[in-house]
A and B are shown apart, each in its own frame.
Chain A
């Protein structure tokens, strides 16, 4: 399959998307800042409580947080800081927010991408099997399994997996955090891999349901199509038609759907990281929220917005420019 992409159109589209992302980020930054501002959280007080600041430091902090400045001005100056990538200093980690986010987000990205790929491949496979054997007990079993999975809260699945693998089988330590007193840089590759397995496993299981059900529905539609019935009439083998006609037609929409699931992926990662104490962005989110680390929380909101936006944009590109069936619309 040769993919011909109209590069000029794509460039225009990407430029349009970049402008949209910029406007979106400004809006998200402003709204989330205002939300934290009107909340009962007092950043100066939580700073003072966390660090034990003196009266002088509190005065300096009040000046930094511009306690007496009206809201409108504050938002503008926060946005101006943001443009210079100055997100402030995280009060929990005591290093610039940008550094915290880079460090934590890389860890989470590994977790999310691993489970994203696994859930995509397994989910697609299950969907094809269920669609190909529709009406049989295999189809019913896969459907029931996905249906139940969709209705189960992801954090509960995490708890059950921890119960089975850590508590009963004892294959993994409970909590799975880095041994106390070990620097992040001293963690060996092996330590890190062990910490990754259960969270990635949980997140993959949670992600399978929607993609499998979608693939199954699409494939069943294709099985009812004229070209499928014709291929059958030619005497082709059932599974070879599915491989030749079915998978080719379902794959691209399925990948598109998978890219659009970044929002749920992020939400799932937050819950799963919290259960398995995986030191990623999700755990940082919860810590920042519970301990009122306002700069970090705002930073995380921005980075997650970019993350979700990227997923949606890739899905758009796949849908509009890569899918050959959309070529007709494009030429209009």
Chain B
């Protein structure tokens, strides 16, 4: 037992080192997927009618579709797009959340307004709101990004709102006010600095939802256009070929999407552990 545990380098590391290692590995993996998707030129996804609907083989690990395109290449390209849209949408929604939280901290009316807005956005089913926003902006990537950003800011805004209220009542903020610092300065130097942890973790935790909602809305036909190599498009196309037994068209892209979502979820939790040591003890 003791000789074995000495051999295993993981055992000599503390929790913090292990967490950092895990974060590094996940980031590396995600960067790898994104980089390889960037390196794929859509023009290189060849259509080859002699290779139509091939089941998975060593040449085509994920099989080929009805135009003879390699599904592995299409899937990776789609994942890259998902990561990109997820990133833009979750960063946008965090920015939105920060702005809303600060508005609510200005005065009583701001607080009431934001509380009402949060209620408003939480009372329409997310998917329906996404559909409405996508229709409003004329479908396409823009509609999806704005839609996801608009529907996901509420949870982070709620957390920040409480956090900011707590910080505002603290003594050093009141002292700062007595020193004559203006509200903007206090918000920047005292409050933002302290909530930045929450913001980073919040953004990372919005990521998986953003990716899944993008795929769902694209699947329904309101998101990205059918020319884009998105996972939602691949899966909705696969529906017409499932009856002929082409299971690989649906299974592999879905599993890959699931893995990416899972990776982002774990990443968010690990980063939270790293930045907020009280959580790590649990």
Contacts and interface: CB of A to CB of B under 8 A. Distances in A.
Nearest to B208: A151
B221 to A, nearest CB: 6
Contact of B262 (A148, A162, A266, A286): A148
Contacts of B212: 151, 153
Interface string B112-128: 00000001101111111
Interface in B225-282: 235, 238-239, 242-243, 245, 247, 250-251, 254, 257-258, 261-262, 265
Interface residues of B, number: 39
Interface in A276-327: 285-286, 289-290, 297, 300-301, 304-305, 308-309, 312
B24 interface: no
B221 A271 contact: no
A289 B220 CA distance: 10
A14 interface: no
B215 A153 contact: yes
B105 to A, nearest CB: 23
Given A152-B258, A155-B235, A39 B135 contact: yes
Contacts of B131: 285-286, 289
A159 B123 contact: no
Contacts of A251: none
A308 B137 CA distance: 25
B216 A271 contact: yes
A39 B238 CA distance: 30
A300 B247 CA distance: 34
B42 interface: no
A286 B132 CA distance: 11
A143 to B, nearest CB: 13
A267 B128 CA distance: 7
A36 interface: yes
B126 A151 contact: no
A41 B138 CA distance: 8
B102 interface: no
A305 B251 contact: no
Nearest to A275: B239
A173 B208 CA distance: 33
Interface in B164-213: 208, 212
Contacts of A159: 235, 238-239, 242, 250, 254
The 9 closest A-B pairs by CB, nearest first: A267-B127, A156-B254, A266-B125, A35-B136, A151-B261, A39-B136, A151-B262, A40-B138, A263-B125
Given A35-B133, A162-B242, A167-B243, 12 more contacts: A36-B135, A39-B136, A39-B137, A152-B258, A156-B257, A174-B242, A267-B128, A275-B239, A286-B220, A290-B222, A297-B132, A305-B123
